[in-house]
């Protein structure tokens, strides 16, 4: 498929996991990808993995730094000649049992997961073409379903989901689509870093997909679909990709 022939795409969280897989998928489908992450070594590995008719350039940036986001979007527009698709994958994940939840936990999770997403949307929207612009924001199935010991993470992703649905309504008149994609369990470095420790994780046996965890490539396929012309009438609706774990 070549659904993104020379389409300029701005992608955050591109250094690993879902972000890297999405960059690789979009380049394979012909997109010109401006890949962003704070991990420069990871970005280099993403570039090495990308192969196809598209191309990829990178920029190291902190999604929580407003000046950095403003400069990054400006650089993407200059490098790509515009931006048609914005994909916000950048995020962090951690367990926060309520007895040990700190204000620092809340602020960091919201700063990265919500504030970073919102800043990139704010800066990119003026450049998205009316009738063709697309925003895909990665939320989580935790946004709408209970995930013990992850209240702060779930709240931050719930905010991403609410933000995305509201933004879809706001931009509908301009023909700019906004699609939140909510993964379930995905086998990535981010999720592998979450360890039970002394916590009772038996609850998660109830919400584990019989298909097993998704691969980053499976999520990349869903994101590519949401951003593509194949989904031209999809906006303001959560695309849940969880292997039926919450059916």
Task: For residue 145, name the pLDDT band (cuts at 50, 70, 90).
Answer: confident
Q: What is the pLDDT of residues 213-241, one digit of tens each?
A: 889 999 999 999 999 999 999 999 999 99
Q: What residues act catalytically? A: 153
Per-residue pLDDT of 168-195, as tens digits, reads 999 999 999 999 999 988 888 766 556 5
Residue with the two structure tokens 């403003």: 70
What pLDDT is recorded for position 170? 98
| Domains contained in the chain, CATH given | 8-241 (3.40.50.720)
Rg of the chain over Cα atoms, rounded to whole angstroms, equals 17
Report the C-alpha gap between 206 and 175 in whole angstroms: 40
CB 245, CB 209: distance < 8 Å: yes
Strand 177-183 vs strand 239-241: parallel, antiparallel, or unpaired?
parallel
pLDDT in tens, 17-26: 999 999 999 9
How far apart are alpha carbons 185 and 215 in whole angstroms?
A: 9
| Residues sharing a CB contact under 8 Å with residue 239, sequence separation 6 or more, in sequence order | 179, 180, 181, 182, 222, 226
**CA angle, 106 then 19 then 233, to 5°:** 95
State yes or no: pLDDT of 42 exceeds 70: yes
pLDDT tens, 96-142? 999 999 999 999 999 999 999 999 999 999 999 999 999 999 999 98
* pLDDT classification of 148: cutoffs 50, 70, 90: confident
């Amino acid at each position: 498929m070549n659904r993104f022939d020379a389409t300029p795409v701005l992608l955050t969280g591109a250094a690993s996991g879902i972000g890297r897989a999405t960059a690789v998928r979009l380049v394979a489908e012909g997109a010109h990808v401006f890949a962003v992450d704070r991990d420069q070594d990871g970005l280099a590995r993403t570039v090495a993995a990308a192969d196809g008719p598209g191309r990829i350039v990178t920029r190291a940036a902190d999604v929580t730094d407003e000046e950095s986001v403003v400069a990054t979007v400006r650089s993407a527009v200059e490098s790509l000649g515009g931006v048609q698709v914005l994909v916000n994958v950048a995020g962090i994940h951690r367990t926060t049992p309520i007895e040990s939840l700190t204000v620092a936990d809340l602020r960091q999770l919201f700063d990265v997961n919500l504030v970073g997403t919102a800043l990139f949307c704010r800066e990119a929207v003026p450049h998205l073409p009316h009738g063709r612009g697309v925003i895909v924001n990665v939320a989580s199935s935790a946004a709408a379903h209970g995930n013990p010991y992850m209240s702060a993470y779930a709240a931050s992703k719930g905010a991403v989901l609410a933000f995305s649905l509201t933004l879809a309504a706001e931009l509908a008149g301009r023909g700019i689509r906004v699609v939140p994609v909510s993964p379930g369990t995905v086998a990535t470095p981010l999720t592998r870093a979450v360890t039970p420790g002394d916590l009772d994780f038996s609850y998660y046996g109830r919400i584990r997909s019989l298909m097993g965890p998704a691969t980053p490539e499976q999520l990349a396929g869903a994101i590519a679909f949401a951003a593509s012309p194949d989904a031209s009438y999809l906006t303001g609706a959560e695309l849940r990709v969880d292997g039926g774990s919450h059916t």
